[in-house]
Chain A
Amino acid sequence: MGEVTVLDRRAAVATLLEGRRDMLVVTGLGSASYDVMAAGDHAMNYYLWAAMGSAMTVGLGLAMTQPDKSVLVITGDGEALMGFGALATIAVKAPRNLTIAVLDNGHFGETGMQESHAARGIELDRVAEACTFPRTLRITTMEEVEVLRGHVAARDALTLASVKIRADNPPRVLPPRDGPYIKNRFREALGFSPI
């Protein structure tokens, strides 16, 4: 497979989140979290710092309980690969308000830029398509990122987008690491009290 145009991850994520309203965001651990934090901390961001492979399933649980809000999972190809089976689990429910944006640079960026399966011929959007996702996208331009942002807001179909980004490591912008704080802040924004 030849090289395609690739996007700057920070610019792509900032564009996806621009003007967000009633959007619940779940981030996979590692660089995806830093990208979302770099775009601006928000009470309706849920940052994962562990449980690799869980970003998509956390997003599913949120989407099923908050059907009137857009749920956007932003994660990396490595994190998504670890939760591969969840694509089948999610497709069975197919909530219209769930969008999964995989920032795909084909590498494990956090651990020394080893090549992932995504750099060796496995296209996550095709996997999602095989799992009967109603909408799958492979994104290589900023115009397409803007279209994806429209899909997130429209909440009209379960979507997985593989967003092709450059394999680089911009400076880390660390989200808060206090688990109960992130959780309670998020739930409070939805109107739920701590115990």
Chain B
Amino acid sequence: MSENQWQDEIYRVLKSHDVRHIAYVPDAGHSAAIKLAEADNEMTSLVLTTEEEGIGYLAGVHLGGQRGALLIQSSGVGNCINTLALNQMARIPLLMVVTMRGDWAEFNPWQNPMGQATETVLRSMGVLTWRADAPQDVVPLLNGAAGMAFNGDQACALLLGQRLIGEKKWVK
């Protein structure tokens, strides 16, 4: 898979699982999927002011009989912690795709605390997690996570590592 083709593939995989709602807080790693979602008349895209809004929104989407996904950055996982009780207690499916910061080759050390805690925190709140660090892992891992989320009423997260996304260029 060519460099960054995986970004388009994420959107294709989500569509193949009948995802009709994309709730997001933007990140460069999600820019392709967000752009595709915003341009797609069959997709409802929802920009959030903070990530936990997406947990509530997608719970409502599930109650209303449809599927959605939450695209966020690892720092936003911290904002979701308490709200994730909803998924665990009500067995409401949740599919999260999380771009990592503070993970590898991070320039801004202030990203490190939440980045290093992201997977631990998700697991502590009952979310199943997988990590993709190579392009060829993205599609199979996302397929598996989506299947377990929607067929099992389970909260699932795919973490996209910084080795996959590439180093953020701080000086142009």
B residues at A contact (CB < 8 Å):
21, 44, 46-50, 52-66, 68, 82-83, 85-86, 89-92, 151-153
Contact = CB atoms under 8 A, between A and B. Distances in A.
B41 to A, nearest CB: 14
Given A88-B49, A186-B63, A179 B91 contact: yes
A interface, by DSSP: helix, strand, loop or mixed?
helix
Contacts of B54: 57
A93 B86 CA distance: 23
Residue with the greatest number of chain A CB neighbours at <10 A, chosen from B52, B64, B65, B82: B64
Nearest to B60: A61
A54 B63 contact: no
Nearest to B66: A65
Interface of A: 24, 26, 46, 48-66, 83, 85-86, 88-89, 92-93, 179-180, 182-183, 186-187, 190-192, 195
Contact of B60 (A26, A50, A195): A26
Given A85-B53, A183-B91, 18 more contacts: A26-B60, A49-B89, A51-B55, A53-B56, A54-B53, A57-B55, A57-B59, A58-B57, A60-B56, A62-B63, A65-B21, A66-B65, A93-B46, A179-B89, A179-B92, A183-B92, A190-B63, A195-B152
A22 to B, nearest CB: 13
A62 B148 CA distance: 23
A179 B58 contact: no
Contact of A54 (B49, B59, B68): B59
B58 A61 contact: yes
Given A50-B85, A51-B82, A89-B46, A83 B60 contact: no
Given A51-B85, A180-B91, A183-B92, A61 B64 contact: yes
A57 B56 contact: yes
Contacts of B46: 89, 92-93
A183 B61 contact: no
Contact of A66 (B47, B64, B82, B90): B64
A89 B89 contact: no
Given A65-B65, A179-B89, A190-B64, A86 B49 contact: yes
Given A65-B64, A66-B64, A195 B151 contact: yes
A88 B152 CA distance: 32
A83 B86 CA distance: 15
B47 A92 contact: yes
Residue with the greatest number of chain A CB neighbours at <10 A, chosen from B62, B63, B85, B90: B63
B59 A192 contact: no
A187 B62 CA distance: 8
A89 B64 contact: no
Contact of B90 (A61, A85, A180, A192): A180
A57 B53 contact: yes
A30 to B, nearest CB: 15
Contact of A60 (B49, B52, B60, B90): B60
Given A62-B60, A89-B48, A195-B152, A48 B65 contact: no
